[in-house]
Amino acid sequence: VALPALVLGAGLLAAAWRWLRGAARPVRGGSMRGKTVIITGANSGLGRAAAAELLRMRARVIMGCRDRARAERAAREIRAEVGERADGAGELVVRELDLASLRSVRAFCHRVLQEESRLDVLINNAGIFQCPYMKTEDGFEMQFGVNHLGHFLLTNLLLGLLKNSAPSRIVVVSSKLYKYGEINFEDLNSEISYNKSFCYSRSKLANILFARELARRLEGTGVTVNSLHPGIVRTNLGRHVNIPLLAKPLFNLVSWAFFKTPLEGAQTSIYLASSPDVEGVSGKYFGDCKEEELLPKAMDDLVARKLWDISEVMVGLLK
C-alpha cells in the first residue's frame, strides 16, 4: 500500500512542479540567415534541439555526428518539425564526425575547409558520460579523448576559417560537475587509476580551461569563446549509468518532473550562438543564459596553458 501511495504522491508533486515551472518555450534570438553553424553530436539531446532552433532562425547547420544513419534520420525529423521555407533560407547538412578518432576529426575538418566559405559558430556539444574504462582509436581514455581532445583538435583545425569569418563564436558545452574534477598531469590518460565519475568531471573542467585559454589566445581576432553548463537534462547521455530495475519508474518520474527537456537545456548554447547580448563577450562561463562564477581551479591560467601545451602534443599538432 505504501509504495503505490508514494509513487502517486510523487506523481502529483511532479505534475504540480511542471505546471508551476511552466516548461515555457523560450524566446528565440534574431535571424541567423546567412550564417553557418557546426554542432557536434547534433543527432540527439541538446545538439538536436539546438540544431532545430538554429534552423528555425534560418542558419545553415552542419550536424557533425558519429553515426551517419542516425544523423540522417534526425535531420529528416528536424526538417519535418521546422518545415521547409519558401525562400530557401536555412539548411541542414549531415557530416560524419567521430570525436573518438583523430583521423575522423581531421577528415571532417578537411571537408569543411574545402566546402565551406565561412564558419560563424562552432558549438562543441558532443560528449560521453561515465562510461566503463575504454580507449579511443588513438589510445586515449574515452571521456578525456572525446570530451576534450577531440574537440581541442577540431577547434584548432577550424580556427583559420572562424577568424576569416569574424565576428564569429565558439561555444563549449561543459557541466557543473567540473567542480569535482582535477587536472592530474601525471595520469591524464587514467593509466594508473580510473574512476568514471571523476574522469567525466575532469574532462568537463578541461573544457572550461580550454575555453579560457583559447579566449586569451583569440583576443583581438573577432572570435569569441564561452563555456556553459546546460543543467540536468533528460538525454541519452546517461546511457552508461546503471539504475536498478525497481527504481526506474520512480527515476523516470523524477526526471520527467525536475530535469530539463533537451530544448530547455539547449537554451544557453543557442543564446551564446545567436544573441546580440553576448556580442564581443569572451572567456566567460554561463548557465541559464546568464554569466556565472567559476571555482578558482577553473580560472587557473597556468594550468590552462600547461593543459593546452600537452593537448597540442597529444593530438599531434606539435611533435
Are 224 and 284 in contact, with CB atoms under 8 Å apart? no
Region of 159 (left: φ > 0; alpha: ψ -120 to 50; beta: rest) is alpha
Given a contact cutoff of 8 angstroms between Cβ atoms, the answer to whether 172 and 151 are in contact is yes
Q: Where are the beta strands (DSSP E) in the chain?
A: 36-40, 60-65, 91-96, 121-124, 168-173, 223-229, 285-287, 290-291
Instruction: List strands edge to edge, sheet with 36-40.
Output: 91-96, 60-65, 36-40, 121-124, 168-173, 223-229, 285-287, 290-291
E runs forming strands in 174-282? 223-229
SS3 60: strand
The values of phi and psi at residue 92, to 5°, are -115, 125
Extract the C-alpha cell encoding 237: 547521455
Distance between CA 48 and CA 125 in Å, rounded?
10
Cα within 13 Å of Cα(102), Cβ side: 18
200 is catalytic: yes
Please choose, from the candidates 34, 243, 22, 198, the residue with its C-alpha nearest in 3D space to the C-alpha of residue 119.
34
Instruction: Estimate to the nearest angstrom the gap between the alpha carbon of 216 and the chain centroid.
Output: 21
Catalytic entry in 180, 194, 200, 271 = 200
CA distance 254 to 5: 15
Active-site positions read: 200
